[in-house]
Amino acid sequence: MVKPTRVSNSIRSLRFAAGEMTQAELADRVHVTRQTIIAIEQGRYSPSLEMAFQIANVFGVPLHDVFHYPEEES
């Protein structure tokens, strides 16, 4: 199945590095449902810029450490 977004992320590894934070804990911190965190992790949903910053703030890292976008080939 083609992923609906080209945005990838490192949330799973960041959660693991943050004391094995659960998806539910992260969801609580950014005030969304656990299913939304799952969808973001699996690349099925691109969060808004605001939510992306909130997630990065939870881990205390810059946005580009959490979300990645492939560079366009020229």
Partner 1 sequence: MPFEEKVTWVSAVVSVFVSAVYFSVVGGQLDSGPVSEIAYQRWMLIAVVATIAMTIVGSIMAGIGTGISAEITGKGSVDDIGLKDERDEHINRRGERVGYYVASVGALGVLALAMLRFDQFWIANALYLTFVVGGLVSSAVKLVAYRRGF
Give the binding site for partner 1 (CB under 8 A): 1, 3-5, 24, 31-36, 39, 42-45, 47-48, 51
Q: Which is nearer to partner 1, 10 or 54 (CB)?
A: 54
Please answer whether residues 52 and 23 qualify as being in contact, where contact means their C-beta atoms are separated by less than 8 angstroms. Answer: no
Q: Which is nearer to partner 1, 50 or 73 (CB)?
A: 50
Rounded CA gap, 48 and 22, in Å?
A: 21
Token pair of 73, please?
Answer: 């080939």
Q: Which is nearer to partner 1, 18 or 39 (CB)?
A: 39
